[in-house]
Structure 1
Amino acid sequence: MAQEAILEKVKGEVHMSKSFDFMCSQLRNGRYRVKIERFTEPRTLSQNALMWLWFTCIEQETGTDKQDVHDYYCNLFLRRASYIKGKETVIAGSTSKLNTVQMTDFLNKVQADAAAELGITLPLPADRYYNEFINEYQDRR
């Protein structure tokens, strides 16, 4: 049975959500690997909302259904190779499985591609005309 805890270092002090000794006491005899990796949050609702607002804009400007736009960009930027029954298969990943860092990277790639390939500027919330952009495309989602 795998054990997992959240470790946080604040101002030089380490805090754990569970006692390391307790977690070890729950393991069967044997050899184990301890791996510490940076904790990342899943994509945020605001990132998801921004993505669909952008896809609505692309839909309105190109006539391509926003779900197709979503699938296109997932296929373009989230592709990975997988082996099924011993054969290599290419699979398009899903944005629902991305963390905040990965989602930011995905959105940056979508924004750059839309500008370069479609001539469409997709603003970020901090951009000057973002509120006007929301007013133009939000009601159409």
Structure 2
Amino acid sequence: MQKAVFPIQSHADITKAISFMHTNYTKALEEKKPLRVVIDQKQDDRSTAQNRLYWMWLGQIEKKNGTHKDQLHFEFKKKFLVFIYRRDDQEFAETCKAIAMLKQNECEEYRVIAEQVIRLCSTTKLNVKQMTEYLNYVHDFTVTKLGIHLTVPDDLKWCWIE
């Protein structure tokens, strides 16, 4: 049986969910796979609300100072995301330590390897709390260092303030 999700916004939606359970209950018992019902509140995750806000901000910064969004993304990852990963992921921290050794030894590959690691870092792997922290760093840097005021639509105000 396929997974069924019923967003409940009215009593009619409740009726649809109950009807689905009635219809599929017998079949589920015959297959010896009873139905499982999970009830929770829908929450936007990082990949929708926080990510949308982040890329909107990058667009705002690009319009103000002319730096392309992709370049801004790379620079913010280098400045803030690597810090979060290094702090929260022991394996990543060890990788950074090894790369730092290349820098100390004035190895030519240092820059290439460091840039590749930064490119491989992704905000998609952050949890909501980490992404909130990242958004705060980006916002504060943009306002204080670049002098650019970032706007936040009402529907996204909840997703970045700790």
Give the structure-2-normalised TM-score: 0.47
**Cα distance in 2 for residues equivalent to 1:42 and 1:126:** 17
Task: Count the aligned residue pairs.
Answer: 87
Q: Which amino acid letter does the alignment assign opposite residue 50 of structure 1?
A: L
Give the conservation status (yes or no) of the 8 Å contact 1:73–1:110: yes
2:124 alignment partner in structure 1: 96
Deviation at 1:82, TM superposition (A): 3.6
Aligned-residue sequence identity (percent) comes to 38
Q: Can you give the 5+ residue segments of structure 1 that lack an aligned partner in the other structure? A: 1-40, 131-141
Moved beyond 6 Å, runs of 4+: none
Q: Which has the larger radius of gyration?
A: 2
1:87 maps to 98
TM (normalized to structure 1)? 0.53
CA distance in 2, matches of 1:112, 1:87: 30
Letter in 2 for 1:53: M
Say yes or no: does 1:77 pair with 2:80. Answer: yes
Distance 1:50 1:83 in 2: 30
Q: Which is richer in strand?
A: 1
CA contact (8 A) 1:59 1:66 kept: yes
Any conservation in 2 of the 1:42–1:97 contact (CA below 8 Å)? no
**TM-aligned CA deviation for residue 42 of structure 1:** 5.5
Unpaired runs of at least 5, structure 2: 1-43, 87-92, 101-113, 158-162
Q: Distance in 2 between matches of 1:109 and 1:54?
A: 12
Could you say which structure has the higher helix fraction? 2
